[in-house]
């Protein structure tokens, strides 16, 4: 009986270790497997004038704050406020706010596409959230929110700035 318990325990531990490993491998991408563990950073380095880089990072912090505020308002059922934040701080309507045009000039095409994908996903989140205010159907909102954070994750996996 002891042995069986031990075996089950070890299996559970192995599974937990495998689960902990999986997202790491995913985040590091295929290149991480080819190179020795510590050294590699597969992200493309995008040079940018210092003031613009600072400006972009400040925008990024506001992106994260906006996501937090959206989630907080979804939690309290203030769908209209959540939708407005999604559209004005992350969606297509945010382009002027962030001086996106100036920063985008320094972005390689793939990074520009990742930025567009985020704005598109956020504007869609705003629409879906507005619909949910009428239908009470939350599943599409969570999916749309995941598409927005997916766009953050996608760009972060591919690029860094200096
Ligand atoms: C078009 C690409 C792109 C998209 C889309 C994007 N980011 Fe970023 N983000 C970056 C880059 C590049 C950096 C700098 C990373 C580095 O140099 O190590 C960054 C940095 C950040 C930082 C760190 C800011 C600091 O002060 O250092 C935060 C927080 C952040 N992003 C949040 C977000 C969130 C939240 C989203 C989605 C709503 C998002 N980003 C979408 C490219 C992007």
- Return contacts of 67-72, CB within 8 angstroms, 24+ apart: 67/148, 67/149, 70/125, 70/145, 71/145
- Residue with the smallest CA separation from ligand 1 atom 1 is 115
Q: What is residue 53's predicted lDDT score, i.e. its pLDDT?
A: 95
Distance CA 97, CA 88 (A): 8
Q: Compute, in angstroms, the gap from residue 71 CA to the centroid of ligand 1.
A: 18
Q: Which residues line ligand 1 (CB under 6 A)?
A: 57, 60-61, 63-64, 67, 90, 111, 114-115, 118, 148, 151-152, 155-156, 159-161
CA dist., res. 34 & res. 31, Å (int): 5
Q: Which pLDDT score is estimated for 38? A: 36
Mean pLDDT of the 55-59 span:
94
Residue 129 has pLDDT above 80, yes or no: yes
Burial of 79 from C-beta contacts in 10 A (0-12 / 13-18 / 19+): buried
How many CB atoms are located within 10 Å of the residue 36 CB? 7
Return the best residue to mutate from 56, 59, 152 for the ligand 1 pocket (most ligand atoms within 8 A of CB).
152
- Of 113 and 8, more confident: 113
Span from the CA of 156 to the centroid of ligand 1 (angstroms): 6
pLDDT for position 101: 80
Residue 35: pLDDT above 90? no
Lowest mean pLDDT among 31-35, 36-40, 135-139: 31-35
Q: What angle do CA 150, 112, 154 make, to 5 degrees?
A: 20
**Which protein residue has the closest C-alpha to ligand 1 atom 6?**
152
Protein residue whose Cα sits closest to atom 15 of ligand 1: 160
Q: Give the residue whose CA is nearest to atom 8 of ligand 1.
A: 60
Across the chain, what does the average pLDDT equal?
82
Are 76 and 84 a contacting pair, CB within 8 Å? no
Residues of the chain with pLDDT > 90: what percent? 69
User: How far lies 57's CA from each of 36, 75, 100, 122, 125, in Å?
Assistant: 30, 27, 12, 19, 23
| 33-37, 55-59, 146-150: least confident range | 33-37
pLDDT beyond 50 at 107? yes
Q: How far away, in angstroms, is 88 Cα from ligand 1 center? A: 18
Give, in order, the Cα–Cα distances in Å from 153 to each of 78, 85, 105, 157: 26, 20, 21, 6
Is a pLDDT exceeding 70 seen at residue 103? yes
Q: Whose alpha carbon is nearest atom 27 of ligand 1?
A: 57
Confidence at residue 39, expressed as pLDDT on a 0 to 100 scale:
57
């Amino acid at each position: 009986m002891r042995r069986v318990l031990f075996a089950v325990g070890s299996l559970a531990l192995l599974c937990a270790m495998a689960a902990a490993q999986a997202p790491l491998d995913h985040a590091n991408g295929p290149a991480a497997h080819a190179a020795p563990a510590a050294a590699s950073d597969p992200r493309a380095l995008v040079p940018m004038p210092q003031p613009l880089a600072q400006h972009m990072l400040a925008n990024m912090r506001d992106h994260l704050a906006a996501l937090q505020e959206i989630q907080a308002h979804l939690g309290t059922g203030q769908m209209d406020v959540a939708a407005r934040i999604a559209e004005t701080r992350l969606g297509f309507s945010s382009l002027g706010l962030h001086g996106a045009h100036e920063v985008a000039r320094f972005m390689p095409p793939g990074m520009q596409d990742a930025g567009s994908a985020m704005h598109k996903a956020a504007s869609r989140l705003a629409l879906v959230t507005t619909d949910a205010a009428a239908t009470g159907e939350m599943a599409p909102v969570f999916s749309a929110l995941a598409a927005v954070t997916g766009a953050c994750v996608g760009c972060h996996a591919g690029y860094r700035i200096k």
